[in-house]
Chains A and B, each alone.
Chain A
Amino acid sequence: MRKPGLIDRRSFVKAAGAAFLATLSPRALFALERSDAVYASGFRSPNGEFGIGLVAEDGTFIDRIALPDRVHGLGHSPATGLSVAFARRPGTFAVIFDARKRSEPIIIAAPDNRHFFGHGQFSPDGRLLYASENDFDAIRGMIGVYDATDGFRRVGEFPAHGIGTHDMTVSDDGRFLIIANGGIETHPDFGRTKLNLDHMEPSLVIADAATGALIEKHVMPRELSQLSTRHLDVAENGRVWFACQYEGPRNDTPPLVGHFARGEALAFVSLPQDITAGLANYVGAIAVNRRDGLVGLTSPKGGLAVTLEARSGTVVSTAAVADAAGIAPALSGFAVSSYDGHFQTTQSPLAWDQHILRIS
C-alpha cells in the first residue's frame, strides 16, 4: 500500500495539464508518459548553479526549478499537490512549489535569529507547514509553523525539545510531530562547524502537533551519546524508523538504524558486521516503502545502499553505489541517487543532493 495520498502518474499528468506538458522536451515528455513515479531532488549543476530536479522513475530529467542556493530535505502534501524544499543548513530560505507548475513557486525566509535545519513536512490536510529550525543564540531546536492558506505566513513555533534538530515529520493522522534532534550544536557564525562533539545530546521526540507539548523523548544511552539521530521515516503502522551518523571514534561500530513506536523504548537493528562497516558510521538518508514493508538506507561515505525487511529488520539486499545520496520508495523497492549524478539507471551531468522526494 502506498503512502496515503500519493497520486499515480496518470493523475500527475492529468493534473499538470497541457500547459505544463507543452513546456517539456520530447525526451522528458516521453519519460514522463512511461514513468509510474515522479521524484524531486535538489541538485548542483556543473557550472555551480543549484535547483530542484523533477525526474521520472528511471531518473530521466523532466523539469527543473532554478534556485539561488543548495536545497536539502523535501516534503510533499498530497492534499494540495504542493511540495517544499528547504535550504541546506544553515540556509534561511525554503521554496514551496507545485511540480505540475499550476502555480508559481513561493520562497519563504526563516525569521531573524533562526535558520532552517533542512527538513520539514506538511500537515496531512496541507494547511500547515512545519519546519525544523535553529534558535542558535539559545542553542535549541525549534519547529516553525507556517500557514499554507495564507501565503505560508509564519504563525508560530514550538520547541523541538532538543538541540541540533534535523529531520522531522508528521504522523499520518496529523496529531504528532516526530522530531530527530541530532544533538550537535552549530551556530551560523561558525558555518557548519560542530561545536559540541564531546558533549552531544541526541534525542528522538514525539510532540503534540497542536500545542508543541512534549509527549515522549528518547535520549541516547550514555555509551551512544555521540550517535547523532538525523533522519527518520514512518511506516504504515506508525512505527518510526530512524537513521544515525556517529561522531565518535571511527573504529567503533555502533548501531546505525533503529525504530520505535509511541510508548515503546528505542530498538536498534543489529546489522551484520560487514553491513555496519559498509555504512561507514554514516547513514545519510532513510526511507520506508510501505507497500513492500521495506526500509531503505544509503551511505555516501560507505558507497552503499541497504534494504531491510521492516518486520524483522533483516537485510534483504545491498548495492554498492558510489557516493550514494537519496533514497525514496519506488514501485518496487527503492529509487537511489548519488552525488555524481546517478538516479536509478540514468546518469545526469550534475550532483544530486542527499534526499529524494517521491511526488507520485
Chain B
Amino acid sequence: MKPLVLGLFIALGFSATATAQEAGTTPAILKSEAIPAVMEKAVENFIRPGYHRFRDRSATLEADMHALCAGPSAEALDKARVAFDKTVAAWSTVEIVRVGPVIEANRFERILFYPDRKSTGLKQVQAILARPDESATSVETLKDKSVAMQGLGALEFVLFGTGSETLPKDQQGFPCRYGAAIAGNLVRLGNELADEWDKEGGIKDAWKHPGPDNPVFRDGREAITALLGILVHGAEAIRDQRIETFYKGADNNTFPRQAIYWRSRNTWHSVEANIEALRTLMRESGMADLLDEDSRSIVSSIDFVARSLVRVANDIDPDIEAAVADPIERTKLDFLLLNSKDLILRLGNDYGGAIGLTAGFSFSDGD
C-alpha cells in the first residue's frame, strides 16, 4: 500500500521556506501597508457574505421544516432535506472562521457539536425522541438545553436517522416540531453572527483597521497572523476533525459512523465546502498581494493542492462505511491525509514565511 500512497503525493517540489532558508536568501519583509486592504476584502468578500448565506439558508430550512410538520408528505420531506443539505454547505463554508463572535457563548458548538467521539449528542437526541419533551420544540427553551442537541448534528438525525420515516406521515409530530425548533435555533444563531459582523463600529471595523486602540489587532502583523490562522486552522481541521475522526491511515481501525454528516451523505460535500472556503478566502481577500512578485507562485501551488483535494474528495463514495472498506477508496483517503498535511505546511510555512512572518505562521503561537 505505501508505495501507492507515496505515488499519490503531489509532486510540487520542496517547500519554498526550506529552499529559501537553505539558500540563505534575504527574509521577506511584511508589507504592512497592504494589510488593511486584505483584511477589508476578507471581511466584505468572505466572512460577512458567509454568515449572511448561512442565516438565509437556515431561514429556508426553518420554513421548510414548518411546512413539513403542517403538511407531511414525501415531497415535503425531500424539500426539507434539500434545505438541510444547503444549510450544511453554507455552514461548511463559513465554519472555517473559528475566531470572533462564533466562539463566544458556545455559538460554534450550538451550530455544530462535532467531533462527538462519545456520541453525547446522539444519545441526547435519541433520548428526547424516545421521551418527548415539549420544551425542545421551542427555540426559546431549546437554546437553554445541551448544546449537543440544538444544532446540525441533531437535525440530521431527525431528518435522516432512525424514525425519520414517520416524518412524511405524522402531522405536527414531535420529531418534526423538534426539528423545526433546531432549524429556528440555527436562524437565531445565524442572525446573531450576521448582526455582530454587520454592526458599525464592531468587529468588522476592528478587522479592517488594525491600530493601537483597536480591541482586536494592534497592528497589521497581528491582523494578518489571525487571517492566515483561519486558513491554517481550517486546513488542520479538515485533516484532524473531518478525516482522521474516522480514518487515520492504512494500518489503523476505521470508524465510519464517526464521520461528519454520514447519515445524510454530506460528508464529502462538507469537506469540499471547507476546502473551497480556504480557496475562496485566499483569492477574495487578495492575500497574494502581500507576496513579492517572484514568490507569488506559492499561492498558485496552494491552490493547486487545494483543487486536487477537492477533486479527490468528490470522487470518494459518499457511503462512508463502503468507502473505508474498499482498498481503492482508501487510497483516496490516504491521498487526502497526505496532501492536507502538505496544504497546512504550504499555508503556514511557505506563505507565512514568504509574507514576512519570520518563522512562518505555525511557529508563532508561543503557548
- Chain A interfacial positions (CB closer than 8 Å to B): 44, 46-48, 72, 88-89, 118, 137, 166, 189-195, 197-198, 230, 249-252, 280, 282, 284-285, 300-301, 322-323, 325, 339-341, 349, 351, 354
CB distance A250 to B215 under 8 Å?
A: yes
Contact of B214 among A47, A250, A285 (CB under 8 A): A250
CB distance A46 to B117 under 8 Å?
A: no
* A227→B356 CA distance, assembly (Å): 29
Can you list 5 A-B pairs, Cβ within 8 angstroms, ordered by A?
A: A46-B21, A118-B367, A191-B241, A193-B103, A250-B217
**Closest residue of B by beta carbon distance from A198:** B104
Other than A230-B367, A251-B214, give 17 A-B pairs with Cβ distance below 8 A: A47-B18, A48-B15, A48-B349, A189-B117, A195-B103, A197-B103, A198-B105, A250-B216, A251-B215, A251-B218, A280-B218, A325-B366, A339-B358, A340-B358, A351-B359, A351-B360, A351-B363
**Closest residue of A by beta carbon distance from B115:** A189
A9 to B: closest C-beta gap in Å:
29
CB distance B215 to A46 under 8 Å?
A: no
CB distance B359 to A301 under 8 Å?
A: no
State the interface size on chain B (CB cutoff 8 A). Answer: 38
Chain B positions within 8 Å of A301 at CB level: 222, 366
Q: Which of B305-360 contact A (CB under 8 A)?
A: 345, 349, 358-360
Chain A positions within 8 Å of B365 at CB level: 192
Q: Which 7 A-B pairs have the closest CB atoms?
A: A284-B366, A339-B359, A249-B215, A351-B359, A46-B21, A354-B366, A340-B358
CB distance A250 to B367 under 8 Å?
A: no
B115 to A: closest C-beta gap in Å:
4
B196 close to A (CB within 8 Å): no
Interface residues of chain B: helix, strand, loop or mixed (majority): loop
Chain A positions within 8 Å of B359 at CB level: 44, 323, 339-341, 351
**Closest residue of A by beta carbon distance from B345:** A48
Per-residue interface assignment for chain B, residues 98 to 119, with 1 indicating a CB less than 8 Å from any chain A CB and 0 otherwise: 1000011100010000010110
CB distance A300 to B364 under 8 Å?
A: yes
* A241→B239 CA distance, assembly (Å): 39
Per-residue interface assignment for chain B, residues 205 to 225, with 1 indicating a CB less than 8 Å from any chain A CB and 0 otherwise: 000000011111110001000
Given A88-B367, A189-B115, the answer on whether A349 and B22 have CB atoms closer than 8 Å is: yes
Chain A positions within 8 Å of B212 at CB level: 251
* A69→B358 CA distance, assembly (Å): 20
B151 to A: closest C-beta gap in Å:
15
Chain A positions within 8 Å of B117 at CB level: 189
* A192→B241 CA distance, assembly (Å): 12
Chain A positions within 8 Å of B17 at CB level: 46
* A252→B218 CA distance, assembly (Å): 11
- Of B22, B245, B358, B359, which is in contact with the most chain A CB atoms at under 10 Å from its CB? B359
B167 to A: closest C-beta gap in Å:
31
Chain B positions within 8 Å of A285 at CB level: 366
A52 to B: closest C-beta gap in Å:
16
**Closest residue of B by beta carbon distance from A249:** B215
Given A250-B215, A250-B217, A250-B218, the answer on whether A323 and B18 have CB atoms closer than 8 Å is: no
CB distance B364 to A339 under 8 Å?
A: yes
